Structure formats: C-alpha cells, structure tokens
C-alpha cells in the first residue's frame, strides 16, 4: 500500500513536521512505539521504516502506522524514518516511557495514477475523495503546451462532459460549458481563489498558458458550499507550478501556427532553504485571417503579454508565505477585413470593427502553517484590477472592475475518523465607468459577500466515508444563502468505488457575461427587481479500476459511469434585442424567468493506460431544458450527445504520437432549429531528445467549419448580424512547437 502514496503531484518536499505527542507505554514493556503519519492528510503510513542509526535495530509500521522498537533506544539516540515516496527524516528518541509521533512529508515524486487534489481543501488523494474530481495532470499539461502554448482552452475539449463554445465569429472568444450550462455558471479558480467573473470574464481561459500550471482540477456539479456563489455547473481550479528545493527548473516554448499565431513562453523556478521563486513570461502575436472568404476575419489581429512572478519564503519547516503578481495586457482587433487593412470607408459601407484592450493586474498572498495545534492554517487573499476598453462601429465604452477575495481556513484531524475544515471568507467586486467617460455603462454595481463554512470528512466505516459541508453567505444586495452539501464514498472493493453527492448553490446577478456581443454592452439596463439564481445539484458515479500485471509496464483499466442533475431556479434571461438582433437597436433588460432551467444526463468513459501509452473513450448525454419557454424548451447550444476518443502511443524514448477524435451531436438554436452533428479530429507527433521536444500538431484536420453550411455574418455589412455559433469557424490549423525543459537532478 505504500506504493499508492508515491504519485502525489503536490510539491512540498520541504514540509517536515514533528508533533510531540506522547504515546503511552505499558510500564513493563521496555520498548518505544513510534507512530508515523502523512503530514498533509494525517493518515497512518503503512510500511514506513524506523531504524536506530549506527545499529542494525529497526522496525516497520503496521496498519495503524505504528512501529515498535524493542528494546527502547536510549534517550537522544538518533532515529531515521523513511517511507517510499516521502522525504526521510531524523529524530531523537524520547525519554523512557514516552512515545513518539512523527509526520512525514511527500517528496514530490510523481507515480502514475496517484494524484493529490487541492480544490477540496483537504489535500487528499483523488481516489479517497467522496467528490468526483477529474484532474488533468503534468502529462496532459505538457502535451497542451505543445499544441496551444498560449492558453488551456482546448484542453477541456478532450473531456466528454465539457464543451468549449465559440461565442463570436470575429473576436475568437470562447465559453467553457459544463454539463450543458452556459459559462457564467462555472467558477474558475487560480490556486483556490476566484480568478475571473462577470465583466472580467472576457477572454478568461484564453490568457492562461499551460506552461505556468502544474495541474487542472475539474469538479462538476454544484460546489457553492466550497467557494461561494457561481459554482453551479462546477468549478475549475488552476494549480500553479511551484519550486522544489534543490531542483531548479527552466523551460521555454516557441510555437508557430498555420493561422499566423506566434507564441513564446518561458518559465523558471528555484528554491533554497528559506527563499524560493517562480516566474512566467508569455508573449502572443496574432495576425488576422479570413478563413471562409466572406470579408470578415475569423481569426482576429492581436497581441498579449502575460507576467506571473511569485516569491516564496519558508520561515521554518512547516510554514510558507507566497507573494505573487499576475499581469496581462491584451489587444484584439476584429471585424471587416477591409476596415482592418485600410480603415472605415463610408462610401463603400465597410465600417464594422471591434477593438478590445484588456489590462488585468492581480496581487495574491498565501500563508500556510502545518503546525498549529496539530492542524493546518491557510490564509489567502487576492485583489484584481481589470480595465477593458472596447470600441465598435457604433458604440464604445471603457470600464473597470475591481475584485477582492480573502479567506482563512483551518484543517484539523479530530481523531482517526474525522477531518474538520472551518473557515471565514470575504469577497466583493465593483464595476464602474471611468469618471467623465463619454460612453458610461448603464449598469454599474458594487457587491460584497461575507461567508462562513464548515466541512467534515467522516470515516463512518473502513469502506464508507461521508463528507458534509455547510456554508452561509451574506450578500449585500441579495441577502443570505444557506448552502448545505453532502458527499458519500463507498469502497465496495479494491476495484469498485461509488460516489453520491448533492448540494445547493447560487449566483448573484451580473449584467455583463462572456457571451454578450460587445455592441450590446451600452444597451444593457441596470439590474432592477431581479433575484439571485438558486440551484439544486445532484451527481453520482461508479468507478472500476483494475491493474493487469505481467506486462513490461502495468496496464491500468478505468471504467466510470456517472450521472448528473441540476435544477436552476429564477434563471436570468435577457429580454429585448440589441445591435445584433433582427429588430435593430433596443435596450436589453435582465429578468428572472417564471419557471426553472434544468439539465440532466449521463457520462461514461473507459481509459486503458500503460506508462505513456493510453486509450480513452468517452460519451456524454445531456438533456438541458428551459421550462420557462412554452414552445422551444431546449437550452440553446447544449449538445445532446458527445463522443470523445484519445489514443496516445509512445513508440520509444524519443517518439510518441497521438490521435484525438470527437463527435458533437445535435444542438438546438434559440429559434428552435436543430443543427447537424459534426466530427472533429486532431493528430500529434512528438520527438523528444534530452531537454528538447519538437511537436507537430494538427487541430480540426477534417476542416469542419460552420461556414461551410451557412453564413455566420449577415447583412448589413456596416453593422452585421451574427448567427449563433454551434461549430468552429477557424477551420483546420497546424502548428509546430519547440520546447526546452531543464530540471536539476
């Protein structure tokens, strides 16, 4: 069982914590009892070795994590404690009659099929969690860095239950949809703190480069109990790379695509005994391209600069302070190709353009202490200032959004059966126009929320674990929200586990969402008389895992069957038609619908893996309905069926190849029309030698485009109407990337 602990992705080899807790000994026994536990989860370590240095005396821990040394060594004698996958440590034998309790820290060695999840606050192994979590780890992140180094958007397209939805045929913006729900119902976190939302959510996933990440954690279903409002469809936690003591890292990637995108990214990290650092720098250059020849660009012109330096301080062996800054400057220009090249020309009617300038500055602070009364204290805070300047043919605006988030939580193991998490949080956001702006927003707002939460991981029985959580949030405009959540894990056998969880959620109304046409921002009316959206979510799954031995590499089979259900009360709908609507210019007003919105469905996947060779087959069925619509109840742009298949083969130490294929099934549009299903396919070839990797990749190699079936930009050309996007518009794209990675061994 010790080998199961070896795959932890959480790099905290510096953490070695000694807890001086007496273990009573029988007066007649001349022995020393040493109890060894994991420093993160405080669970017993089975098979750890405790030896007396300079002698042949030693013992191995049993099922309770206890080793017995008989006879007891003299007080002050040096002991060495080791466990596979953990940093060895030294300790002094206590005085006669006392016991010794020790915590060992993982050494950061990654072993296949072992993943440490941070989003659930307990830093638990993925297989021990009552909540189903999908983790895209180091291998997937590295592969994505070879395909699309500028962002992680396409990473989610490989999962059957997620959908990357294009929202504009010219600006290239995207939306992440989970379980059929639009993107505003998914909460995106960076290292456990909210990253984007509302007005600032624009181009969110397009500005997160994979080279700066260690892993991505995806939790589907209602999770407002964990992180407050917004996590109705689920949450995505982006985990940053951190330095490892004695192992400095350097990495760089250069990428060029057939759509004339150039990317240059670099990362560096290092750590000594007290100080450490990490730093990321990313540059992106886009050139406009009209793929379908309709005179409007399908790929915008643009550039971006991303900075993410962090400074780490380690006061002692069981605490750390991390201070970080993240800055992004991005420009995008889209619209009529003639306007982009030569400027507007009223005589010919070539007038339409959309200019976006985004500036985001974020400062964050993290403090952890693993020696506070036997538990772990975590304090985190973040503040973001986001400025967006938009100019279109007939309108423009410049506005800023300021957000803040602060949280203090305490994890405490209460005996062998309970792990408690208690916490307080405060967050808020303010959206306003600049003073004297010629085009002020009609719907500014100022929100503030205070929250308190508690969670208990309870081992009811050796094979049965219950996770119960309760949160109360008070919103300054929408009142109080009581958010209970229950999750159950049953380990039927070593191979079969079952999970069932459900909870309540909410989302405070915001006037501007990612999918809104930029021309319509100036038309959105102030929020008046609306209520927050409330949700009930239920998720469950059964998982089977078996390892076949007798091969050169162990062959691991995973089969997972899950279901989901979400009922959204008071859904917000936008009434009226803006610039892009057939009625021309009209004001837009948010209203609560009289009936709920619901999604339900099934997900199935099969994964077979041996080292770097993998086969994945996935299927998702989604039935998403707007019960407030009398005629067309289908939620627009929610595919009823999605198939996904991935095959990766490592031929030898140098060559590997991969194929990805998916089928997006029928979708319904706002007017009730059904779209055809369509296939997507990608191919990857990689060559690896030493620190260098060269990758050649093709996305959408079948060149399926919505514009092959219909026009997506409709007259008048001076202020066009855009059709709803249900398929890609940029078509086939190839890229070549060269990566260099160096880690001191």
Q: Work out the pLDDT band at 554, boundaries 50, 70, 90.
A: confident
| Residue 590 token pair | 């948010």
SS3 category, 228: coil
Task: Answer whether 143's CB lies under 8 Å from 684's CB.
Answer: yes
Do residues 216 and 283 share a domain? no
Give, for 225, the enclosing helix (H) or strand (E).
helix 224-227
| Residue 586 token pair | 């009209």
418 found inside a domain: yes
Q: What string of DSSP letters covers 42-80?
A: -PBPTT-EEEETTSS-EEE--TTSEEEESSPPPTT-EEE
Do residues 221 and 261 share a domain? no
Q: Work out the pLDDT band at 111, boundaries 50, 70, 90.
A: very low
Which pLDDT value is given to residue 113? 44
Q: What string of DSSP letters covers 459-495?
A: EEETTEEEEEEEEEEEETTTEEEEEEEEEEEEE-SSS
Which pLDDT value is given to residue 345? 92
Task: Answer whether 227's CB lies under 8 Å from 707's CB.
Answer: no
Which pLDDT value is given to residue 20? 29
Which pLDDT value is given to residue 585? 58
Lowest mean pLDDT segment, chosen from 381-385, 499-503, 510-514, 685-689 = 510-514
Lowest mean pLDDT segment, chosen from 168-182, 323-337, 601-615, 689-703 = 168-182
Which pLDDT value is given to residue 1? 30
Do residues 221 and 253 share a domain? no
* Whether the predicted pLDDT of 147 surpasses 90: no
Rounded mean pLDDT, 573-597: 77
Task: Answer whether 302's CB lies under 8 Å from 330's CB.
Answer: yes
Do residues 44 and 128 share a domain? no
Do residues 472 and 489 share a domain? yes
- Residue range 617-676, pLDDT digits in tens: 999 999 999 999 988 999 999 999 999 999 999 898 899 999 999 999 999 999 999 999
* Whether the predicted pLDDT of 309 surpasses 70: yes
- Residue range 406-459, pLDDT digits in tens: 999 999 888 778 889 999 999 999 988 887 777 777 888 899 999 999 999 998
Rounded mean pLDDT, 287-307: 94
Lowest mean pLDDT segment, chosen from 51-65, 87-101, 356-370, 383-397 = 51-65
399 found inside a domain: yes
Give the count of beta carbons closer than 10 Å to the beta carbon of residue 41: 18
d(CA 416, CA 37): 11
Which pLDDT value is given to residue 700? 94
Buried b (16+ CB within 10 A) or exposed e, 134-154: bbbbeebbbbbbbbbbbbbbb
Give, for 647, the enclosing helix (H) or strand (E).
strand 641-650
Q: Which residues contact 561 (CB under 8 A, 6 or more apart)?
A: 541, 542, 602, 603, 604
**DSSP letter (8 states) at residue 336:** B
Which pLDDT value is given to residue 569? 96
Domain C-terminal end among 238, 253, 285: 238
Q: Which residues, in sequence order, are bridge partners of residue 603?
A: 562, 620
111 found inside a domain: no
Lowest mean pLDDT segment, chosen from 4-8, 411-415, 599-603 = 4-8
* Whether the predicted pLDDT of 577 surpasses 70: no
Computed over every residue of the chain, the mean pLDDT equals 86
* More confidently predicted of 583 and 428: 428
Q: Work out the pLDDT band at 138, boundaries 50, 70, 90.
A: confident
Do residues 410 and 336 share a domain? yes
CATH code of the domain covering residue 372: 2.40.170.20
* Biggest CA-to-CA distance, the chain: 103
Torsion over CA: 372, 66, 314, 207 (sign): negative
CA angle 663/132/375 to nearest 5° reads 150
d(CA 206, CA 679): 23
| Residue 358 token pair | 């985004």
109 found inside a domain: no
Q: What string of DSSP letters covers 250-281?
A: EEEEEEEETTSEEEEEEEEEEE-SSEEEEEEE
Rounded mean pLDDT, 276-300: 95
499 found inside a domain: yes
Q: Which residues, in sequence order, are bridge partners of residue 546?
A: 557
Give the count of beta carbons closer than 10 Å to the beta carbon of residue 711: 15
* Whether the predicted pLDDT of 9 surpasses 50: no
Q: Which residues, in sequence order, are bridge partners of residue 17?
A: 103
Give the count of beta carbons closer than 10 Å to the beta carbon of residue 673: 12
**DSSP letter (8 states) at residue 434:** P
SS3 category, 12: coil
Which pLDDT value is given to residue 733? 95
* Whether the predicted pLDDT of 10 surpasses 50: no
Task: Answer whether 237's CB lies under 8 Å from 216's CB.
Answer: yes
d(CA 66, CA 34): 6
Do residues 547 and 444 share a domain? yes
Query: Given the structure tokens 């030569």, which residue do they identify?
Result: 342
Task: Answer whether 200's CB lies under 8 Å from 184's CB.
Answer: no
Do residues 488 and 632 share a domain? yes
| Residue 240 token pair | 């940053």
* Whether the predicted pLDDT of 484 surpasses 70: yes
110 found inside a domain: no
Do residues 364 and 491 share a domain? yes
Which pLDDT value is given to residue 229? 85
257 found inside a domain: yes
* Whether the predicted pLDDT of 206 surpasses 80: no
Q: What total of structural domains would you count in the chain?
A: 3
Rounded mean pLDDT, 34-52: 81
Query: Given the structure tokens 């990490």, which residue do they identify?
Result: 278
State the residue range of the domain holding 197.
116-238
Task: Answer whether 367's CB lies under 8 Å from 358's CB.
Answer: no
Lowest mean pLDDT segment, chosen from 106-120, 189-203, 321-335 = 106-120
Q: Which residues contact 343 (CB under 8 A, 6 or more apart)?
A: none
Percentage, residues of the chain above pLDDT 90: 52
Highest mean pLDDT among 37-51, 67-81, 260-274: 260-274
SS3 category, 519: helix
| Residue 432 token pair | 């306003």
Domain C-terminal end among 218, 238, 258: 238
Give, for 498, the enclosing helix (H) or strand (E).
strand 496-507
d(CA 175, CA 156): 11
Residue 654 to residues 255, 609, 610, 649, 685: CA-CA distances in angstroms? 20, 19, 17, 11, 11
Which pLDDT value is given to residue 578? 60
Which pLDDT value is given to residue 177? 86
- Counted residue by residue, the chain has a size of 745
Give, for 713, the enclosing helix (H) or strand (E).
strand 713-714
d(CA 262, CA 50): 54
Domain C-terminal end among 238, 260, 282: 238
Which pLDDT value is given to residue 197? 62
Which residue from 76, 68, 65 is spatially nearest to 26, judged by alpha carbons?
A: 68
CATH code of the domain covering residue 123: 2.170.130.10
d(CA 672, CA 621): 19
Percentage, residues of the chain above pLDDT 70: 90
* Whether the predicted pLDDT of 184 surpasses 80: yes
Do residues 95 and 138 share a domain? no
Q: Which residues contact 328 (CB under 8 A, 6 or more apart)?
A: 207, 304, 305, 306, 307, 358, 359, 360
Which residue from 344, 341, 283, 285 is spatially nearest to 308, judged by alpha carbons?
A: 283
d(CA 388, CA 342): 25
Pairing mode of beta strands 186-190, 234-240: parallel
Task: Answer whether 232's CB lies under 8 Å from 533's CB.
Answer: yes
Do residues 192 and 326 share a domain? no
d(CA 469, CA 419): 12
* Whether the predicted pLDDT of 21 surpasses 60: no
Q: Which residues contact 462 (CB under 8 A, 6 or more apart)?
A: none
Do residues 262 and 214 share a domain? no
């Amino acid at each position: 069982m010790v080998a199961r602990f070896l795959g932890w992705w959480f790099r905290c080899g510096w953490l070695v914590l000694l807890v001086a807790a007496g273990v009573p000994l029988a007066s007649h026994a001349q022995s020393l009892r040493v109890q060894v536990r994991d420093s993160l989860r405080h669970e017993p370590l089975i098979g750890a070795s405790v030896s007396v240095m300079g002698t042949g005396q030693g013992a191995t821990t049993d099922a309770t994590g206890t080793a017995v040394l008989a006879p007891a060594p003299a007080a002050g004698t040096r002991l060495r404690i080791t466990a596979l996958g953990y940093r060895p440590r030294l300790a002094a034998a206590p005085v006669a009659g006392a016991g010794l309790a020790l915590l060992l820290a993982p050494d950061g060695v990654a072993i296949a099929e072992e993943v440490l999840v941070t989003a659930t606050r307990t830093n638990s192994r993925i297989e021990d969690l009552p909540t189903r979590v999908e983790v895209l780890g180091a291998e997937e992140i590295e592969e994505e860095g070879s395909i699309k180094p500028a962002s992680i958007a396409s990473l989610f397209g490989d999962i059957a239950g997620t959908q990357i939805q294009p929202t504009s045929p010219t600006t290239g913006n995207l939306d992440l949809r989970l379980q059929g729900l639009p993107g505003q119902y998914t909460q995106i976190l960076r290292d456990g703190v909210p990253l984007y939302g509302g007005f600032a959510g624009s181009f969110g996933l397009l500005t997160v480069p994979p080279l700066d990440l260690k892993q991505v954690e995806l939790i589907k279903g209602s999770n407002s109990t964990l992180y407050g409002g917004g996590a109705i469809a689920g949450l995505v936690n982006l985990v940053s790379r951190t330095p490892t003591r004695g192992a400095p890292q350097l990495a760089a990637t250069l990428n060029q695509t057939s759509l004339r995108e150039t990317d240059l990214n670099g990362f560096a990290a290092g750590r000594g005994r007290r100080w450490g650092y990490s730093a990321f720098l990313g540059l992106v250059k886009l050139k406009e391209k009209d793929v379908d020849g309709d005179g409007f660009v399908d790929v915008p012109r643009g550039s971006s600069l991303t900075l993410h330096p962090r400074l780490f301080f380690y006061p002692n062996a069981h605490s750390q302070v991390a201070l970080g800054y993240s800055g992004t400057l991005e420009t995008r220009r889209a619209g009529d190709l003639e306007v982009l090249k030569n400027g507007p020309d009223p005589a010919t009617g070539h007038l339409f353009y959309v200019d976006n300038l985004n500036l985001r500055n974020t400062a964050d602070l993290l403090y952890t202490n693993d020696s506070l009364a036997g538990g772990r204290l975590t304090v985190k805070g973040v503040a973001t200032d986001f400025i967006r300047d938009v100019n279109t043919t007939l309108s423009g605006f410049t506005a800023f959004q300021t957000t803040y988030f602060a949280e203090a939580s305490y994890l405490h193991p209460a005996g062998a059966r309970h792990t408690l998490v208690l916490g307080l949080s405060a967050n808020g956001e303010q959206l306003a126009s600049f003073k004297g702006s010629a085009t002020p927003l009609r719907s500014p707002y100022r929100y503030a929320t205070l929250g308190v939460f508690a969670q208990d991981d309870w081992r009811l029985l050796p094979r049965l674990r219950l996770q119960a959580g309760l949160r109360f949030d008070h919103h300054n405009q929408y009142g109080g929200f009581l958010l209970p959540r229950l999750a159950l894990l049953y380990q039927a056998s070593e191979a079969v586990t079952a999970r069932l969880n459900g909870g309540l959620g909410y989302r405070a109304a915001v006037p501007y969402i990612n999918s809104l046409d930029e021309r319509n921002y100036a038309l959105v009316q102030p929020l008046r008389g609306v209520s927050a959206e409330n949700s009930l979510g239920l998720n469950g799954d059964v998982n089977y895992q078996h390892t076949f031995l007798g091969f050169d590499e162990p062959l691991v089979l995973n089969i997972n069957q899950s279901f989901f259900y979400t009922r959204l009360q008071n859904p917000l709908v936008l009434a009226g038609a803006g610039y892009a609507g057939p009625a021309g210019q009209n004001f837009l007003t948010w209203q609560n619908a009289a009936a709920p919105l619901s999604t339900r469905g099934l997900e199935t996947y099969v994964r077979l893996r041996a080292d770097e060779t993998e086969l994945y087959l996935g299927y998702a069925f989604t039935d998403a309905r707007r019960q407030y619509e009398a005629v067309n109840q289908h939620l627009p742009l929610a595919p009823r069926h999605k198939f996904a298949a991935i095959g990766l083969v490592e031929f030898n130490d140098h060559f590997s190849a991969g194929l990805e294929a998916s089928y997006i099934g029928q979708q319904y549009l706002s007017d009730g029309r059904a779209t055809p299903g369509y296939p997507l396919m990608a191919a990857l070839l990689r060559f690896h030698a030493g620190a260098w990797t060269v990758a050649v990749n093709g996305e959408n190699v079948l060149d399926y485009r919505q514009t092959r079936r219909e026009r997506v930009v409709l007259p008048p050309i001076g202020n066009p109407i855009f059709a709803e996007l249900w398929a890609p518009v940029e078509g086939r794209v190839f890229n070549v990337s060269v990566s260099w990675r160096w880690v001191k061994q």
